[in-house]
Amino acid sequence: MDKKQQINIWYAAGAFFLLLLFQSWWVSYKTIETIPYSQFEQYLKDRKIEEIAIKENTIEGKFREPLEGGKQYFITTRVDIPLAEQLQQYDVKFTGVIQSTFVRDLLSWIVPMLLLFGLWMFFIRRIAEKQGLGGMMTVGKSKAKVYVETGIETTFDDVAGVDEAKRELQEVVDFLRDPQSYGRLGARIPKGILLVGPPGTGKTLLARAVAGEANVTFFSISGSEFVEMFVGVGAARVRDLFEQARKAAPAIIFIDELDALGRARGANPIQTNDEKEQTLNQLLTELDGFDTSTGTILLAATNRPEILDQALLRAGRFDRQVLVDRPDRVGRRAILDVHVKKILLAPDTDLDQVAQMTAGFSGADLATLVNEAALLATRKNARAVDLSHFTEAIERVVAGLEKRSRVLSDKERSTVAFHEMGHALVAANLEGVDPVHKVSIIPRGIGALGYTMQRPTEDRFLLSTRDLEHRMAVLMGGRAAEDIVFDEISTGASDDLQRVTEIAREMVARYGMDAELGNRVYSGPRQSFLGQSLGDENAVSEETAREIDLAVRTRVEAAFARAKEILVEHRADLDAGAKMLLERETLTEADFPAIRPISERKEVEAAQ
C-alpha cells in the first residue's frame, strides 16, 4: 500500500474515533441530568423515578416522564445509606451493577507506555533517516525513487539540442513498448546504456524522457546512495533494486552519478573501501544475470567515464555509450525554443542571436539564462522579455553581478579603462578573433573590476596555432595597454596571465606546436593521492623540462609584444576609447566603431 494512502487511513480512523467521543459526550450532555442526592430522594418521594442502577460511586436512573428540559436520565453521587426499603416503598425497580476496573487499570498503564514508545520510535526513525540507516529492518532496502507510469510526463519533446542521443535511445523506447516483435530477427537490446557528457547537458532528463515515452516504471537512484557505513549494505540495496525492477517489468533502472559507485578498483592502493568494492561486485553480478527479454533496461549517467572500472564497460554489461555533449548553435536555439514557452517573449526577439552569444552553454545554463532574463524583465516592469534582457542576463551569468557599490579611485578607474580597451582593440585588429560585443568598467563578480565580452560568430571545434596565438595576444592586451600608457603594470592582469600561460603550456606540452620540441606530447598521466589530483606528471628529463619552460615563456612574451605593437599603432583609438569608457562606463561597437572587427572595417572602406 502506498505510504500516502496509509497516512490517509490513519487520519480517517482518528477522525472517526473523535466523532464517536463527541457523539457520546453530546448524547450525555443532552439527555442526562446531574442531580444532588437530596434531590434524588425528593424525586423518589414524588414517585418520578422509574428505575435505577447502583454503581460503586454513583447512582444512575431513568425518570418516569422527561423533565421540562427533555432530559429523561439522571446521575447522582451514591451515599452509603439503606436504599432498598425506600426503593420498595416507592415502587422503584432497582439492580446492582458490578463495575469492572480491569480496562481502566489496563489503559492507565498501556496508554502512557504506547505514547512513550511512539515518541521514541518517531525520534529514533528521524535520526536514522538523517544518518541514512532507515531502521534495522530496512537497512538493505533500496532507496530508489519509483516513478510509476502516470508520474512520468517528460517526453522527447521536452529534450532539445541532443538529437543524436535521442535517436540512439529511440530504439530502447521501441523495445520497451513491444519487446517480442523487436527481437523477431534475433537481435537483443543492450543490457546497459551509459549516458556520458559534461554536467548540465540533460542526461537525467533524457533518462526520464525514455521512461515517459515508453510509459514504464522508472527507478531512479544516485550512485552515492548505495554506499553506507556498514559493509554489505550497498550490495543488499543493489539486489533489492534489481529485484523490484524485475517485479515491475517492463521498467527502467536509472543510476545517476555512476562514478560514485563504479570507480576503478585498485586505482589508489593507499585508499581502499571494502564496502564500495562489494557494492560494485554485486552490480557486476546483477548485470551478468540481467535478462533484457523481460523488458527491463539499465541506464546510467556520468561525467567522468575515464575513472570507471573497466569491468563495467566491457561488452555484455554497459554495451553502449551515448554521448550527451554541449549543444551546438542549432541545438542551443532548439533548447531556447523549449524554455521560452514558459515566459512572455517579445515578438521581435531574435533567439538566433541569443544562441550565437551563448557558445559553450549547456542545457542547464540556457534554462538559467531564460529564467534570469525573465527576472530582469520583471524587475524593470517590462511588458515582455526582449533581446536586451537576454544580453544582460548573459553578462550576469558569465561575468557575475554588478558591484556598483565598489567605489574605485580615479587612478584605478583610469587603469581599468585602458586595460579593457587594450583587450578590445587587440581583438578588433586580429583576423579570426571573436568580435567584441561590449566593453565595461563596472565591477562584477568577486574580483573583476571590468570586462570585455566577445561574441562568437560560430562554434569552433578545431583551433590552429594562429588562433591560439591570437587568443594569447588578446589576453595580453590589457597589460600591454597599462605598460604603454602608465609605463608600469598592475595586478589587474593576474587572471589573464594564468590563462595565457595555460594556453602556451598546452601548445608546447600537449599539442606539439613548438618546432624545436617536436611533434610529441610531454604531459604524463594524472596521478592522485588520497583522491586528490597532483596535476600532470611530466615524464621528461630536467633538460627537456627546462626547454618546455623556455618555450612557454617565449610564446607568452611574443603574445605580449604582438599586443603592444598593435596598441602602439592604434594609440589614438586607445586614448579615445578609454576616455569614452570613463564617461559612459559601458561601450558597444555601435558606440565606438574602432572596436569593430578589422574585416568589417575593411569592407566599409572598400565600399567607400
- Return the minimum-mean-pLDDT range out of 11-25, 29-43, 110-124, 566-580: 11-25
Residue carrying the nine cell digits 612574451: 557
- Is residue 327 classed exposed, middle or buried when 0-12, 13-18 and 19+ CB atoms within 10 A define those classes? buried
Contact 388, 352 (CB under 8 A): no
pLDDT above 70 (res 459):
yes
Residue 604: per-residue pLDDT: 67
pLDDT band at 125 (very low <50, low <70, confident <90, very high): low
Backbone angles phi, psi at 205, to 5 degrees: -65, -40
Contact 317, 284 (CB under 8 A): yes
The sheet carrying 436-440 orders its strands as 451-454, 436-440, 586-588
Annotation marks residue 306 as catalytic:
no
pLDDT averaged over every residue in the chain: 78
Q: Which DSSP state fits 517?
A: T
Contact 259, 223 (CB under 8 A): yes
The string of pLDDT tens digits covering residues 70-97 is: 777 777 777 656 665 666 566 666 555 5
Mean of the pLDDT values across residues 454-458? Answer: 76
Query: Dihedral, CA atoms, 184, 168, 257, 219, nearest 10 degrees?
Result: -40
Residue 178: per-residue pLDDT: 74
CA distance 146 to 113: 36
Is beta strand 73-77 parallel, antiparallel or unpaired with respect to 58-63?
Answer: antiparallel
Residue 267: per-residue pLDDT: 56
Global pTM reads: 0.66
Residue carrying the nine cell digits 594562429: 466
Centre a 10 Å sphere on the Cβ of residue 61 and count the other Cβ atoms it contains.
Answer: 22
Backbone angles phi, psi at 228, to 5 degrees: -125, 180
- Return the minimum-mean-pLDDT range out of 6-20, 52-66, 147-161: 6-20
The residue from 228, 420, 482, 589 that is catalytic is 420
Residue 34, SS3 per DSSP: strand
Nearest to 56 by CA among 101, 17, 110, 21: 101
Contacts with 48 (C-beta within 8 Å, 6 or more apart), sequence order: 63, 64, 65
pLDDT above 60 (res 268):
no
CA distance 132 to 137: 13
The string of pLDDT tens digits covering residues 308-364 is: 888 888 877 888 888 888 888 888 999 999 899 888 998 888 888 888 888 888 888
The string of pLDDT tens digits covering residues 517-526 is: 888 888 754 4
pLDDT above 60 (res 376):
yes
Contact 255, 223 (CB under 8 A): yes
Contact 308, 258 (CB under 8 A): yes
The tally of CA atoms less than 13 A away on the side-chain side of residue 431 is 4
Centre a 10 Å sphere on the Cβ of residue 466 and count the other Cβ atoms it contains.
Answer: 11
In this structure, what C-alpha cell is assigned to residue 144?
530508489
Mean of the pLDDT values across residues 530-555? Answer: 73
Contacts with 367 (C-beta within 8 Å, 6 or more apart), sequence order: 335, 339
Question: Which residues sit opposite 193 in a β-bridge?
Answer: 299, 320
Residue carrying the nine cell digits 539486489: 239
For the chain, count helices (H), then strands (E): 20, 16
